[in-house]
Amino acid sequence: MAGETGGSGRRPRSIALALIRRGHAWGVMRRRSNDAWHGLWEFPGGGIEAPETAAEAAVREAAEETGLRVRALEELPPVYHDYGAFAVELYPVICQIIGEHQRATELSWHTSEQLSALPMLPANAPVLHALAAYEARGESRE
């Protein structure tokens, strides 16, 4: 799906998501923006900048947004979502914590089952399914 324009005719914004694991839980944060999605939960992440890969962008975004140093372990399948006014293509990346900066921000840590009960951005539903499949394969590591 990468690079598709989707049904809207617009090129989606490519966004890397850092799915950061600690023990059996995954780190999420609440949106602080003043848009329609204010207060919803999301994975740390942001735009993929040329010439970055999704994994490189996820590592960078994790450091910028959370203060955590992570390494990318595996990329999950991309997810396309059309919000109407804009479209996104999410590139979820499983990440492992390898250190933290002094200014590390607090993430909220939840199991994948708990994540499915949180109010999250609509595009994250397929990401949660992919995360559950990743865990079911037994590849989820500390």
Render pLDDT for 11-45 as a digit per residue (tens, 0 to 9).
899 999 999 999 999 999 988 777 777 889 999 99
For the chain, the domains span 13-136
CA 30 to chain centre: 13
Q: Does domain 13-136 fall into CATH 3.90.79.10?
A: yes
Calculate ∠ Cα 90-60-76, nearest 5°: 35
46 pLDDT higher than 60 = yes
User: Rounded CA gap, 1 and 20, in Å?
Assistant: 24
User: Rounded CA gap, 41 and 96, in Å?
Assistant: 20
Residue-level pLDDT at 52: 97
In the chain, DSSP assigns E strands to 13-22, 25-30, 41-42, 45-47, 68-75, 79-82, 87-100, 108-110
Residue-level pLDDT at 139: 58
Residue-level pLDDT at 142: 45
Task: Encode pLDDT of 55-113 as tens digits.
Answer: 999 999 999 999 899 999 999 999 999 999 899 999 999 999 998 765 656 789 999 99
Residue closest to 54 by CA, chosen among 42, 46, 66: 46
Residue-level pLDDT at 3: 47
Tell me the average pLDDT of the chain: 88
